[in-house]
Every structure is written in structure tokens, then in C-alpha cells.
């Protein structure tokens, strides 16, 4: 058993790993009815993404038992928490009996308690004593040096990490995070995202994460559920959803694709890091990480151009052979082009309709993708 497996088991020994979460609620709201019926993976981060007022917070509140829906069916890790409005006998586990960790937009620490006592409050709230110790949580979130401080001596990002720690110490079966970064400035967001990535890697409890920010989706999501006016418009694994030309994400102006990459070489003379990806090599400026480190890289669709021949005299250093899988109109001027890269990967390019016609591009064409600009979304 490796360290992660043992930490996962110790966090929640009763977790039935492979049972998907079944989440179904119907409840009238002010202007529309929230009507959701989804199954999501039992581990990893599922992002709820949608415009303001589409029902994201209400859905979290339903899961936490804070909003009563007329129709409900909720199974978490194989346990039935709620069943309402069907022929079978009703079930409603009260909010205080649900093993839910809830992190809000604004960190809500007790001002009269030290960081340590705020964290221990989560420990005491646990229905079953959390096997995860205060020390382990502090180390996971980088807050060990803050334990004796009072909340008014903490930055916004530190407060939010402590809110997350307190939620984890309550031994949750599910972690609900409602725009946990939206109250923080850009620099603090960047500081906290790596800790969220760590949580995601080291804990196998399901996390449902609400955000409006596409950058957070690209950094953190494994699975995405798109909501509009109380209904699911699309859902699925994030990499697939970004490449689905009929789904909303591919139509955003900042559409792109995610690629798994491993650091393969650092060129000290030019300060460039090379990554090996399925189908080639991608080079980015700077010394990014030790050889062998896995990263997730983001390729913006509008930063990819397509050529029939590999340009030999281009300043663009990332040029990869690709095959066209699908072309679809993105708007009146532009097309999305879904491309096969290597054996198992796909990327998205955004080109003008005029270029598509000029090059007479069609499915099956073998081309070269010139990638101008690669961003790392996982450090």
C-alpha cells in the first residue's frame, strides 16, 4: 500500500470507492425549477460551472440537507441520505448527521479561537473520530506554522486554508466548496491552488467545487457539470468536455484543451523545459520541475495555427504532427478543429473560416499544429 492509499483509507475507512454519487433534486426556485439528476465519480473534483443564479449554491445546500426539495434522491458513497417524492418510504438524514465538509466563499473562522482550536473544532464535530490527525492536515495545507495564531493575524488565503483544514478534520464523506477562491485576490488564488491540487491528489473523497472561473476549472476539475437555469446542459470528464464541439466549453472565446505531460529535459543554456506529451515534445520557458514530474498543460485553441508542411524557418518552437478529426463552426467567423495528437490525445484549434476554406481543410487531413503559448495549470 503506498502513502496515498494509506492516507485515503485512513481518511475514510468506510468509503466505498467505486460507487458513483447519485444526486437527484427537484425544487421550485424563484424564477425556475432546479431539476438535476446526475451521477458523478466517487473521487476527484467535480466542478459545478454556470452563470450567476443558475442554482449551484442551492444544489450544494440540497446535498448538505440545508434546503428541502420536493423530489430528492441522494446516495453518497453507497449510503442513502435522502429520498423524497417517490413511492418508496421517505428518507431524510438531517443536516447535522450528514458527513459533509462545507467550505464557503468567505472563510468563517471563530475569531476568539486560535487556528489550532478552530481546526480542533472540526475534529470534535466529526461523527466518527477522524483518523486524520491535526498534524497531517496542517502539513497537507501548509499551515503548521500558524497553529498558535489568532484569525485576525492571518491573510485571506491562510484563513481559507484553515477553513478547508477544519472541514477535512470533520471526517467528511464529501467536501462541498462554494467558490472558495472568489473572495481572494489574484496572487492569493495562485498561492492556494497548489494546496487544492494536493488535496485532490492525496484524498479520495469526492469534492464538489463551485466556480465561475475557467482557470480554476482547468487547474482543478476532473469532471465538470454545466448548469443553466437549474438544469444540466452538459457533463463529463473535463478533458473530453473541452473537446466536445457540441458542448458549451468549446464555444467560449478562451476555449482550449488539456494535455498530460511529463518533464523530460531542462535546457539550462536557453532556460527551457521540455515536456514529453503523447505524440511529441512541448517546450516552455523556465525551469519548471524535475525530470519525471507529471504536469497538466493547457493549450489555448486560438494560440494554435495549422500548416500543411512543417515550417522550418518559424520562431515557434512547438510544432506537432496532427490529424483532423472534426471541424465545426464556433461563430460566424471562426471554426473549431478537433485534432488527433499521438495515439491517445486530442487538442483543439480555433481558426478562421477563411483559412479553413483557403487550405481546403477536411477530416482526415494530416497537418502540423504550431503552438504559440502553452500554460501550465498544474505545478
Ligand X SMILES: Nc1ncnc2c1ncn2[C@@H]1O[C@H](COP(=O)(O)OP(=O)(O)OP(=O)(O)O)[C@@H](O)[C@H]1O
> Which positions lie near ligand X, rule CB under 6 A?
29-31, 50, 52-58
Q: Which residues contact 69 (CB under 8 A, 6 or more apart)?
A: 25, 26, 27, 34, 62, 84, 85
Distance CA 257, CA 233 (A): 20
Angle at 45 between CA 52 and CA 62, to 5 degrees: 55
Question: Distance (Å, rounded) from C-alpha 148 to C-alpha 102?
Answer: 23
Nearer Cβ to ligand X (117/229): 229
Q: Report the DSSP beta bridge partners of residue 178.
A: 210
Residue 62 or 115: the one with the smaller Cβ distance to ligand X is: 62
CA distances 2 to 8, 202, 231, Å, are 10, 11, 40
d(CA 228, CA 238): 18
Of the pair 168, 181, the CB lying nearest ligand X is at 181
CB-nearer residue toward ligand X: 28 or 285: 28
Q: Which CB sits closer to ligand X, 197 or 228?
A: 228
Nearest-CA neighbor of 166 among 209, 128, 205, 126? 126
**Phi and psi dihedrals of 224, rounded to 5?**
-130, 140
**In the complex, what is the shortest distance from the CB of residue 58 to ligand X, in angstroms, rounded to a whole number?**
3
Q: Report in angstroms how near the CB of residue 182 gets to ligand X at its nearest.
A: 9
d(CA 364, CA 362): 6
- Is the Cβ of residue 74 or residue 288 nearer to ligand X in the bound state? 74
Amino acid at each position: 500500500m503506498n502513502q496515498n492509499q494509506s492516507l485515503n483509507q485512513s481518511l475514510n475507512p468506510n468509503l466505498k470507492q467505486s460507487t458513483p454519487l447519485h444526486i437527484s433534486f427537484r425544487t421550485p426556485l424563484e424564477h425556475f425549477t432546479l431539476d438535476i439528476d446526475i451521477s458523478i465519480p466517487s473521487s476527484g473534483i467535480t466542478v459545478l460551472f454556470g452563470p450567476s443564479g443558475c442554482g449551484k449554491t442551492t444544489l450544494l445546500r440540497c446535498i448538505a440537507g440545508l434546503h428541502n426539495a420536493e423530489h430528492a434522491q441522494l446516495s453518497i458513497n453507497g449510503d442513502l441520505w435522502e429520498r423524497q417524492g417517490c413511492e418508496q418510504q421517505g428518507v431524510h438524514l438531517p443536516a447535522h448527521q450528514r458527513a459533509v465538509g462545507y467550505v464557503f466563499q468567505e472563510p468563517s473562522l471563530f475569531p476568539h479561537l486560535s487556528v489550532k482550536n478552530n481546526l480542533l473544532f472540526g475534529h470534535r464535530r466529526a461523527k466518527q473520530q477522524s483518523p486524520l490527525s491535526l498534524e497531517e492536515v496542517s502539513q497537507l495545507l501548509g499551515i503548521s506554522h500558524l497553529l498558535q495564531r489568532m484569525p485576525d493575524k492571518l491573510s485571506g488565503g491562510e484563513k481559507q486554508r484553515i477553513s478547508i483544514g477544519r472541514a477535512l478534520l470533520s471526517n467528511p464523506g464529501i467536501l462541498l466548496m462554494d467558490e472558495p477562491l472568489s473572495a481572494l485576490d489574484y496572487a492569493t488564488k495562485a498561492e492556494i491552488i497548489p494546496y487544492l491540487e494536493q488535496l485532490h491528489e492525496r484524498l479520495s473523497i469526492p469534492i464538489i467545487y463551485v466556480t465561475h472561473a475557467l482557470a480554476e476549472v482547468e487547474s482543478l476539475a476532473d469532471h465538470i457539470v454545466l448548469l443553466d437555469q437549474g438544469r444540466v446542459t452538459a457533463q463529463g470528464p473535463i478533458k473530453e468536455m473541452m473537446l466536445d464541439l457540441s458542448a458549451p466549453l468549446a464555444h467560449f472565446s478562451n476555449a482550449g484543451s488539456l494535455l498530460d505531460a511529463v518533464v523530460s529535459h531542462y535546457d539550462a543554456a536557453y532556460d527551457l523545459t521540455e515536456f514529453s506529451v503523447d505524440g511529441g515534445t512541448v517546450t516552455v520557458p523556465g525551469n519548471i520541475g524535475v525530470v519525471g514530474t507529471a504536469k497538466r498543460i493547457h493549450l489555448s485553441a486560438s494560440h494554435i495555427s495549422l500548416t500543411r508542411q512543417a515550417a522550418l524557418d518559424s520562431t515557434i518552437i512547438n510544432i506537432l504532427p496532427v490529424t483532423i478529426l472534426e471541424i465545426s463552426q464556433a461563430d460566424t467567423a471562426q471554426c473549431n478543429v478537433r485534432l488527433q495528437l499521438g495515439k491517445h490525445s486530442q487538442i483543439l484549434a480555433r481558426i478562421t473560416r477563411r483559412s479553413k476554406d483557403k487550405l481546403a481543410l477536411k477530416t482526415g487531413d494530416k497537418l502540423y499544429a504550431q503552438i504559440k503559448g502553452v500554460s501550465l495549470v498544474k505545478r
